[in-house]
Structures are given as structure tokens and as C-alpha cells.
A and B are shown apart, each in its own frame.
Chain A
Amino acid sequence: MRLLSDSIGRKAVVAVTGLFMVLFVVVHLLGNSTIFAGPDGINAYAEKLHGLGPFVWAFRAFMGVMLCLHVIFAILLTLENRAANPEKYAVKKMLKTTFAGETMIWTGLLLLAFIVYHLLQFTVRVTPDIVLGNDAKNRVDVFTMVFTSFRITPIVLVYVAAMITLFLHLSHGIQSIFQTIGLNNDKTMPQFGALGKVLSALFLVGYSAIPVLILAGILAK
């Protein structure tokens, strides 16, 4: 029994790291939604978060490890799967799988690219659109930074596209977690399926709302 070289062990690694990332996506959405409370909301939230010091770095390191394991093992499994099915059918009709299920590796790689861009933009703050400054209470003005960037249409389009990609990835991924870690049975199967679809739709609406409402001028300073 080997966790990192057995088929099911590797899949479990992808599932569990995926679960942690889904939990992060939930927390991140809750954190982001402080922007709806205006500059005071998100700037205070950001200051509190940065005030945690070493915990922030421990958390970042943990999420980095989760992401790396998830990507590495998903790629390894995909390569093994391609090798196990080298001759394609001339005609193949899929009966049950979904577009989301069939494109997991591609939506995953797109999300990886998005995560790199998103971190360079709002965490490392090196993309050209970034406006740095402090607010009236001398806190880092996260609100103005985000607001300025999301007034730029191409950036908003990138974010919405990324959230559609996340929706696809998780609408297959969330139910897949429960199947792979073995918590599923015939009664829970439709429930986990519905949970996956509802959560991923919530993420799509919740995350996209911020750039879209800013661009539309509804969420203003």
C-alpha cells in the first residue's frame, strides 16, 4: 500500500489537496466580499490579515504545497491515463460524462495560469495596472488598488473567464472528491453532484460580481 505511487493513493492526494483548495476558495470569497462594505471593509480586513504575520506565511506555504501536489499528481495521472488508452475509437459516444469532466486537465492548467497572474497582480503587485497607496487611516488601500484594476475591461474579462473555468473545474471536481476518498454511495451520489454544482455556481456568481459590478459602476467609491 503506497500513497504516492498507487493509482488510488495518487488520486486521493489530488482529491484531498483539491478539498483544501475548495475550502480556501470559500474563505477567500468571504474575505473578498468585505469589498461590498466599501474601502473601510476590505482595507480593515487586509490589515487584520497582514497583522497575523508568521501565520499568513505558514498558511501561504501550506496552500502552495497543496497546489503543487494537486498539479503534479493530476499531470502524472493524466499522462498515465493517456498511455493506458493509446488507440482512439473512430466513433465514440460518451453516455454520461460532461464537458467539465472531460476538460479537467485543461481547465486545471488554465486556473494555474490564472493563479500565477492573480498573485503577481494583487499579492506581489507588479502588474502595470496596480495603484499602490495608503488610505486616510494609513492602511494599505486595497480598495483603490482593486477598484482601479477592475475599471479596465480586459482585466475584468480575464477574471470572468477564469471564474467560468473555475466553475467548470469544480462542477466535476467537488463531487469527484467524495467519490475518490470513498465517501460516496448510490444514495449520496446525486447529493454530492448537486452540492458540487451549487457551490461552483455560487463561486462563479460571487467572485465575478466584484469585477463586473465595479466595471458597471454599481460598486463605486
Chain B
Amino acid sequence: MSAHTSDDKTMSVKLIVWRQKGPNEPGRFETHLAKGITGHHSFLEMLDVVNEDLIKQGKDPIAFDHDCREGICGTCSTVVNGVPHGGQERTTLCQLHMRKFKDGDAIYLEPWRARAFPIIRDLVVDRGALDTLIQAAGYVSCHTGGVPDANAIPISKPDSDYAMDAAECIGCGACVAACPNGAAMLFAGAKVAQFAALPQGQVEAPERVAAMINAMKECGFGNCTNHYECQAACPKGIDVKFIARLNREFHKALFKAKAGAFIPLVEGE
């Protein structure tokens, strides 16, 4: 038996939650009291407690996204008090614990808000746009077959570390939710940078960056204005240097595209 700590004390918090029945329904804030919460409850477990109470009362539970609850899948997606994932550095919402809150706190819960992420219900949004970006440009084309020999393609340690840092993205979309422009540049930048750093990805680098930028536009994401809110909100701490890399890859591709030939200035040319 472990000793009792201050986390064992129960507390109540007031939740001001965005409720919306469907994609085209009007939404509104609803207030719920979360009672009997201890510091050991994760944020999502606290929501479970509230939902069990709502179900017992015959009311609709609060819809929210979650899956692994281990901080690695990127499914949880709620803006807590104005910060995606609640503002604890490099922490997904499922790993945020109620010991970070005080008895009687009022907590605002809102869904990711961006044109590219339509609300499905309450706090659940459709993040399919990120899948669209991956389908457009988040892969390398290669022949499948046997496992390649180790060290057949030499990759330096700095390059592999750089690519791994970019690959840490779990695709939760907090960067888009935090961005005042609803831009997906950190997500896209991490993908483009990850592949651009490795020999397997360099072959298709110009096509990839072009496809990525087109897909971002088609999905309705905004443009980057260098606020770096995305990096601050990212539960994996993805660096905005990857956005600079995306920009660099774009300019490289622009000059390489036609090898000195005419560079089209606008669509359709």
C-alpha cells in the first residue's frame, strides 16, 4: 500500500463543454460538474466519470476522441482552457492528470477548430484531411521485396536523427488547432523533412513538396505566418525548423522543376 498523498483527496471541477449534435447542427456550451475526482485521474478518466453520471441521468454523454491513452496514438483532441491538449509541455490530453487542476476550477473544453477539421459531434472532429496529405505526399514509392541488407544504403547519424525527430509526429492535429490560420505546415513540414533527409525520399522530393502544398490547399488549410504556436502546442515537440525545411524544399523544387525552363507563375500554366 502506498502512502496517501494530496492526490488522493477528491475535488470537483466545473466543465464548460462545447456540445454539438452533428456536423451541421448549431453548437453551444454546456456546464457540467465533475465530482469525486482525484489527482490520479487522467483528464480523459475524469471525462469518463462525468459521462457515466450523464448516462445514469439518461442524458447524452460528451463525445470525445481517445484510443491508446498512453500518449502515443494521437487520437485525443480537445482544446482545454484555450490550449490543445491542455498546455502541459509535450503531453497529450490522455497523459494530463487532474493533479494539474485545483478544486473548483472552471475548465473550458472545445474541439479542434479549423475549416479543414469539421466537427462530427461535441469534441470529435474529422481529421481525415491529415490522411489526405499523407495519401498525396507522405510516402516513398519503392519496389517491395526482401528486407534490404543492413547498411546497404549508408545514412549518417545526424541525418537519421533529423528524420527520426520529424517522424515523431503522431498526427493528432494540435498544430492545426493551435494555429491562428488553421494551417497544417508543421505536420506537412515534418513529413517533407523526414523524407527529404533520407536517400529513399530524395528521388521524389520535388513532386512530394508540390503534391503536399496542393493537398493542403484543397483540404482548406491556411498559410503559415510564423507564429510558432504549432510547436508550442505539439505533444511531441516537433520543431518549426521542419517548416523552414518544407519552404526550402519548395524553393529547391521550384528552381529544379524545369531545369532552367519557364517556371509557371499561376495555376493552369
Interface residues, chain A, CB within 8 Å of chain B? 1-12, 77, 80-81, 83-97, 101-102, 104, 172, 175-176, 178-186, 189
Instruction: Find the B residue at minimum CB distance from A95.
Output: B232
Contact A80 B223 (CB under 8 A): yes
Q: With A1-B210, A2-B265 given, is the CB distance from A104 to B225 under 8 Å?
A: yes
Bound Cα distance from A93 to B225, whole angstroms: 17
Bound Cα distance from A172 to B226, whole angstroms: 9
Q: For residues 150 through 196 of chain B, which have their beta carbon under 8 Å from a beta carbon of chain A?
A: 178-183
Interface residues on B, range: 35 or more
Quick one: CB contact mask for B106-128 with A, threshold 8 Å, 1 for yes?
Answer: 00101001111000000000000
Contact A96 B228 (CB under 8 A): yes
Residues of B within 8 A of A97 (CB): 180, 227-229
Bound Cα distance from A184 to B193, whole angstroms: 13
Interface residues, chain B, CB within 8 Å of chain A? 18, 29, 79, 81-83, 87, 108, 110, 113-116, 178-183, 206, 209-210, 213-214, 216-217, 220-229, 231-233, 239-241, 243-251, 253-254, 257, 263-267, 269
Contact A179 B223 (CB under 8 A): no
Contact B241 A186 (CB under 8 A): yes
Min CB–CB distance B9 → chain A (angstroms): 27
Contact A85 B179 (CB under 8 A): yes
Residue in A7, A8, A86, A90 whose CB lies within 8 Å of B108 = A90
Contact A84 B241 (CB under 8 A): no
Residue in A80, A91, A175, A182 whose CB lies within 8 Å of B110 = A91
Residues of B within 8 A of A85 (CB): 113-115, 179-182, 222
Bound Cα distance from A186 to B162, whole angstroms: 11
Main secondary structure of the interface of A (DSSP, over half): loop
Min CB–CB distance B254 → chain A (angstroms): 5
Contact A84 B221 (CB under 8 A): yes
CB-based A-B contact count at 8 angstroms: 160
Residues of A within 8 A of B266 (CB): 2, 4-5
Contact B223 A184 (CB under 8 A): no
Contact B113 A95 (CB under 8 A): no
Residues of B within 8 A of A96 (CB): 227-229, 231-232
Bound Cα distance from A184 to B206, whole angstroms: 19
Contact A11 B224 (CB under 8 A): yes
Contact A182 B249 (CB under 8 A): yes
Residues of A within 8 A of B233 (CB): 95
Contact B248 A182 (CB under 8 A): yes
Contact A180 B247 (CB under 8 A): yes
Contact A179 B257 (CB under 8 A): no
Bound Cα distance from A159 to B229, whole angstroms: 33
Min CB–CB distance B100 → chain A (angstroms): 14
Interface centre among B206, B213, B253 (most CB of A within 10 A): B213
Contact B183 A88 (CB under 8 A): no
Further contacts, 14 of them, CB under 8 A, given A184-B244, A189-B241: A1-B254, A2-B269, A7-B216, A77-B225, A81-B225, A84-B222, A90-B18, A90-B29, A94-B227, A96-B229, A178-B244, A180-B224, A182-B246, A185-B241
